[in-house]
Amino acid sequence: MKKIALITGVTGQDGAYLSEFLLKKGYIVHGVKRRSSLFNTDRIDHLYQDPHEENQNFFLHYGDLTDSTNLIRIIQDVRPDEIYNLAAMSHVHVSFETPEYTANADGIGTLRILEAVRMLGLEKTTRIYQASTSELYGKVQEVPQTETTPFYPRSPYAVAKMYAYWITVNYREAYGMYACNGILFNHESPIRGETFVTRKITRATSRIALGMQDKIYLGNLDAQRDWGHAKDYIRMMWMILQADEPEDWVIATGKTTTVRDFIKMCFAHVGIELEFKGKGSDEKGYIKSCNGNYQIETGKEVVAVDEKYFRPTEVDLLIGDATKAKEKLGWIPEYDLPALVEDMMSSDLKLMQKQQYLQDGGYRIKNYFE
């Protein structure tokens, strides 16, 4: 019998990689996607199967984490062995603009799934993975952060995820459910959402190198993040649900880097050396030298700070300790930060070259840089 997985947030970065991973493992995969006025399935189009054909193993259902009746019906129909709850309003800065919606989708949405599983009598058979986050640690209490580091959330997103974390623990303890939190630190990839800082930088660096854009505006360049590759992290989601006992796990690289250094690494990929001058909102990044195929005038300003990207409360430093996952589950990540930069930059350079070609041919290319 093939195992059945249900993935919420299937159209997102992690949902797409996890679907691909589980299909390769022989699972039948069901994904929950939101109705949208335009197709929102770019990341999973390569997995799509015509529903009129036989031997399907990938199914999509319309749904939303804010609609319990919908979730109950999907879980009742699918009767999954494993649920991966990845759906969320996942942008920390945007959560300050939409705090109530974020609490509903990210916090109560998790409760809706746990309760649906219990109501349907599946609490002893369905295993649940909850997408928890290093944002729970927020204001630095301890470095590096482990499964026992106290939480101090610093955004509506993190506070909503804190509810989701604890309700997952509570349902495990109260009803004996196999429900686990993966406390994942930032993980990125070529299909990362364009408004997260890494992807914003790899896209802009590529465009600047190709002469399609003059400069990039960013927020806090001092923020330090523990960045890994999404492919390594979705494998852990699966491993977490295969463990003998349900537990909570930190997944991280154990290394931290500033946003500023990440920018330098991306420019170095295209043979450009940057230097930064100034402080805070007056800081700027200039071209110091060009040694590769891409020639931009030395001294040109290519990075500037715009305060609109500052957050009302910031998370300054994240660095995780994944010793437990490495020792008990045997997790070995394949990518380090240089390999992640290489993967993202080479992908975005190709993508921007294609866009440049289309633009030259008269097609309108999306030009949003939020």
Q: Which of ligand NDP, ligand GDR, none sits in contact with 12, Cβ below 5 to 8 A by type?
A: ligand NDP
Distance CA 99, CA 68 (A): 20
Q: Where are the beta strands (DSSP E) in the chain?
A: 4-8, 28-33, 58-62, 82-85, 127-133, 179-184, 187-188, 216-218, 224-225, 228-229, 249-251, 257-258, 272-277, 284-290, 301-305
Q: Which of ligand GDR, ligand NDP, none sits in contact with 246, Cβ below 5 to 8 A by type?
A: none
Could you tell me which of 65, 81, 60 has the C-alpha nearest to residue 3? 81
Q: Looking at 17, 27, 129, 157, which residue is catalytic? A: 157
- Please say whether the beta carbons of 189 and 131 come within 8 A: no
Q: Which of ligand NDP, ligand GDR, none sits in contact with 195, Cβ below 5 to 8 A by type?
A: ligand GDR
Q: Least Å distance between CB 87 and ligand NDP?
A: 3
- Binding of residue 187 to ligand NDP (CB under 6 A): yes
- Residue 352, classed as helix, strand or coil, is helix
Position among 85, 102, 134, 355 found at the interface with ligand GDR (CB under 6 A): 134
Cis peptide before 144 (omega within 30 of 0): yes
Our CB check for ligand NDP shows the closer of 273 and 343 to be 343
Q: Rg for the chain (alpha carbons), in Å?
A: 21
Is 133 noted as a catalytic residue in this protein? yes
Our CB check for ligand NDP shows the closer of 88 and 287 to be 88
Q: Least Å distance between CB 313 and ligand NDP?
A: 18
Angle at 149 between CA 148 and CA 155, to 5 degrees: 130
Our CB check for ligand GDR shows the closer of 311 and 328 to be 311
Distance CA 93, CA 311 (A): 6
Count the residues of the shown chain that bind ligand GDR, applying the rule CB under 6 A: 22
Pair of tokens at residue 248: 């909570």
- Binding of residue 200 to ligand GDR (CB under 6 A): yes
- Binding of residue 11 to ligand NDP (CB under 6 A): yes
Is 157 noted as a catalytic residue in this protein? yes
Distance CA 156, CA 144 (A): 23
- Binding of residue 126 to ligand GDR (CB under 6 A): no
Residues 75 to 104 in contact with ligand NDP, rule: CB under 6 A: 86-90
Pair of tokens at residue 140: 């630095």
- Binding of residue 123 to ligand GDR (CB under 6 A): no
The amino acid present at 152, given as its one-letter code, is Y
- Binding of residue 131 to ligand NDP (CB under 6 A): yes
Bridge partners, 59 (sequence order): 30
- Which residue ranges make up the site for ligand GDR (CB under 6 A)? 90, 92-93, 133-135, 185-186, 195-197, 200, 218-220, 223, 225, 259, 309, 311, 314-315
Which residues of the chain form contacts with ligand NDP (CB under 6 A)?
8-9, 11-15, 32, 34, 36, 40, 64-66, 86-90, 105, 131, 133, 184, 186-187, 193
Return the active site residues. 133, 135, 157
